[in-house]
Amino acid sequence: MTPGIRPLVVGNWKMHLTASEAVVTVRSLLPRLGSPIDREVAVAPAFTALAAVGALLKGSAIQLAAQDLFWEDEGPYTGEVSGVMLQDAGVAYVLVAHSERRRHLEETDRMAGLKTKAALRCGLKPILCVGEDEAERAAGRAESVVRAQVMLGLETLEPQEAPRIQVAYEPVWAIGTGRAATAPQAAEMHALIRHELKNLFRNAAAGVRVLYGGSVTPDNIDELMRSPGVDGVLVGGASLRAVEFARIADFRAAT
């Protein structure tokens, strides 16, 4: 972990759990998570479950996150949800340009930049997702791909906005495959991201959290969180199971 940074654990439920199912999951999760003070924990349900989950999280130490937002605050954008709406619903964090949206919906780095700016404008804390796919890694392009995603996603922001930003490194080849990056691989890419953040924000870059995402499980969480520069995790499938996610949130980074 980066010294002086409070780690963040985010559960991304993706397109799973109806509102009623999400309520059952949160009711099982809350007593297991307790009230952590040395780390932050958030869950990102589907849009239809935000209200129900948000009501249950009120008064708890667990924060509400959303999986996406549009880059305009209002207007004729059928099917989209704005940062203003999310902030009004009690959302604190929002994912931006998750690899599944980049892949399936062709979201670009330009769109990622607009969404990150919109999140900050609306009082939300964006989690910009970056990462290379298997072909890009095999071709030796992992570093250049991630560097470009970071720069293009954040280049319009000011240094004073840096402490509200999170960057999640999620190697596409590790998402949902059970093949998490090794601790050295994660540390190497996190160091690259930190270097690019310093180019963008200078000293203010020290306040940006860099998370890891991609097949995070109770079995590998402790090793991942011991990796230099890993300031938290973005958890997919394991976050749908209360016992597993609670164990991940209760990571033990001390050696």
Q: Which residues are catalytic?
A: 98, 170
Residue 56 identity (one-letter amino acid): L
DSSP annotation string for the chain: --TT---EEEEE--S---HHHHHHHHHHHHHHH---SSSEEEEE--GGGHHHHHHHHTTSSEEEEES---SSSSSS-TT---HHHHHHTT--EEEES-HHHHHHS---HHHHHHHHHHHHHTT-EEEEEE---HHHHHTT-HHHHHHHHHHHHHTT--GGGGGG-EEEE--GGGTTTS-PPPHHHHHHHHHHHHHHHHHHHGGGGGG-EEEEESS--TTTHHHHHTSTT--EEEE-GGGGSHHHHHHHHT-----
